[in-house]
Amino acid sequence: MAQNVEIKAHARDFVGQGEIARSLSGGEPEIINQEDIFFKVPEGRLKLRVFTQDRAELIYYLRSDQRGPKISQYEISETNDPVGLKNILKSAYGIRNTVIKTRHLYMCGRTRNHFDEVDSLGEFIELEVVLSDSDLLIDGEKEAQKLMDQLGIKDNQLIDVAYVDLLDSKCV
């Protein structure tokens, strides 16, 4: 499985922190509209990330729910039939919930800086330091912490769960 080190935080100044990310990345963000359909699975998280009616990714990932930099292991497969795949997965597992967001993606070296506007939840910042097989976890954690410092992300802004978990807790 591929790996990254990631953090997720509430944005305290979405526009201002976005300007810092733009400066660090040296360019404008890529704007990506995403619909993440999560399925009920016994372990990890399985989602179908839909970009358009004929383009999506099936993503399975394992990540502990903890604040601060954490390791995420994942596998991704692309599909050009999101509706068909969704119907099969819905029949097999059932749908847990759906996360709809607009993502502003700034690349800073190997780190994906996501500035997410999530429907029903608000504005968030997610950092993903992509690791190669030879990278050490500690190096990814240091890189994430450095970017947190540069972006002004404080420990009290960190969240330990996925957007789908936040949505699920709103429904309870």
Check: CB of residue 84 under 8 Å from CB of residue 37.
Answer: no
Handedness of CA 65, 68, 71, 73 (dihedral sign): positive
Q: Quote the CA–CA distance of 19 and 13 in Å, as a whole number.
A: 10
CA angle, 157 then 159 then 161, to 5°:
170
Ranges of each domain in the chain: 2-171
Q: Give the whole-angstrom CA distance, residue 72 versus residue 1.
A: 9
Closest CA to 109 of 136, 125, 124, 128: 128
pLDDT tens digits, the chain, 172 residues: what are they?
Answer: 999 999 999 999 999 999 999 999 999 999 999 999 999 999 999 999 999 999 999 999 999 888 889 999 999 999 999 999 999 999 999 999 999 999 999 999 999 999 999 999 999 999 999 999 899 999 999 999 999 999 999 999 999 999 999 999 986 4
Q: What pLDDT does 67 receive?
A: 83
DSSP codes, 105-145: EEEETTEEEEEEEETTTEEEEEEEEEE-TT--HHHHHHHHH
Q: Cα separations (Å) of 161 from 34, 52, 134, 141?
A: 19, 26, 27, 18
> Which numeric CATH code is attached to 2-171?
2.40.320.10
Q: What is the pLDDT of residue 171?
A: 66
Q: What is the pLDDT of residue 66?
A: 84
Q: What is the pLDDT of residue 55?
A: 97
**What is the spatial distance between Cα 117 and Cα 125, in angstroms, rounded to a whole number?**
9
Q: What is residue 13's predicted lDDT score, i.e. its pLDDT?
A: 97
- Closest among 79, 81, 147 to 111, alpha carbons compared: 147
- pLDDT at residue 152, as a whole number: 97
